[in-house]
Amino acid sequence: MDRMLVVVFDMEKKAYEGQKALLQLDSEGSIVAYAYAVVAKDADGTVTVKQSDDPGPLGSLVGTSLGSLIGLLGGPVGLAIGASVGLVAGSTVDLSNARVGGDFVDDVSKQLRPNRFAVVAEIQEDWTTPVDTRMEALGGIVFRRALSEVEDMVDDEDTAAMQADIAQLKAEHAQARADRKAKLQEKINQLDSRIQARLDKAKEQRQAAQQRAKAKVELLKTKAAALKVKAAQAGDVVTD
């Protein structure tokens, strides 16, 4: 299952040890770490990215969720920092991009207080014990949430309401005096633009989801092949 993982630590050193443990679990095949970052909550409440993986083609895609979460934890400054290290990839910071609930952000924010640190990662894990055992041994507080699927459709109810308003305005426009037509047309154009913006956003989210899914499949294939080679090499050593 694909999840967003946040582990909060009291010390920066522990956060880096947590990152190291996460990558070790990835190399062992216990989890798949798609993208990660070590962040710090500064004294003024903003979030600074201390270290992150090299985004590359996969990170820049998967990182939209990770970068958006960091932005939500750190506010506008967090977004700017996330973009500077390639995590946000131009997306706006909102819950639909982070793909987690507002309650998850609130729960993490309560623990990620000023002068604390965290490992933030998008991972795949089949069971929680490996991560929990390693992180709790380091004194980390673990938060995880399954990533929501990107909606295929825009909010049908809101769109239908705007379309109904357009129909009404067009009816009025047909019967309006010349001095009212321009104002009515302006309102129609505004609603048309809002509907189109919703459709465009939904299309972008679908395309990003398809790209993420493809990139993840390729990464999983690569890791599976590497584990197979490692197992074969281990077998050769035992045979010898």
Domain boundary among 133, 148, 163: 148
Same domain for 144 and 156, yes or no, is no
Task: Please give the residue range of the domain that contains residue 71.
Answer: 2-148
Q: Quick one: 133 and 191 in the same domain?
A: no
Q: Look at the pTM and tell me if it is higher than 0.75.
A: no
Give me the residue label for tokens 């270290």: 51
Per-residue pLDDT at 111:
93
- Report the C-alpha gap between 183 and 177 in whole angstroms: 11
pLDDT of residue 133: 93
Looking at residue 63, its pLDDT comes to 53
State whether residue 45 is helix, strand or coil: coil
Output the pLDDT for position 48: 83
Q: What is the mean pLDDT of residues 68-89?
A: 56
Residue that wins the pLDDT comparison between 149 and 152: 149
Same domain for 240 and 191?
Answer: yes
- What is the number of domains present in the chain? 2
Quote the CA–CA distance of 64 and 147 in Å, as a whole number: 12
Residue 3: beta bridge partners? 123, 146
Question: Could you give the C-alpha distances from 132 to 12, 71, 128, 219, 231, in angstroms and in order?
Answer: 19, 25, 6, 24, 26
What pLDDT sits at residue 82? 43
Question: What pLDDT does 94 receive?
Answer: 61
* Same-domain pairing of 57 and 160: no
Are residue 219 and residue 186 in the same domain, yes or no? yes
With H, G, I as helix, E, B as strand and everything else as coil, classify residue 99. Answer: coil
Question: Which residue, 94, 115, 148, sits at the end of a domain?
Answer: 148
Residue 202: pLDDT band by 50, 70, 90 thresholds?
confident
- Give the end of a domain, one of 148, 166, 192: 148
By percentage, how much of the chain surpasses pLDDT 70?
78
pLDDT at 139: 96
Per the structure block, which two tokens stand in for 23?
Answer: 């990558």
Secondary structure (DSSP) of 156-211: HHHHHHHHHHHHHHHHHHHHS-HHHHHHHHHHHHHHHHHHHHHHHHHHHHHHHHHH
Same domain flag for 191 and 105: no
More confident residue, 134 or 103: 134
Residues 50 and 134 in one domain: yes
Whether residues 124 and 207 fall in one domain: no
138, 174: one domain:
no
Across the chain, what does the average pLDDT equal? Answer: 78
Pair of tokens at residue 209: 């989801």
- 83 and 142, same domain (yes or no): yes
Q: Lowest mean pLDDT of 91-105, 147-161, 184-198, name the range.
A: 147-161
Residue 228's SS3 state is helix
Tell whether 161 and 129 lie within a shared domain.
no
Q: Verify that 91 and 183 share a domain, yes or no.
A: no
Which one has a higher pLDDT value, 141 or 150?
141
Q: Is residue 120 very low, low, confident or very high in pLDDT (cuts 50, 70, 90)?
A: very high
CB–CB of 134/14 below 8 Å?
no
pLDDT score of 142: 94
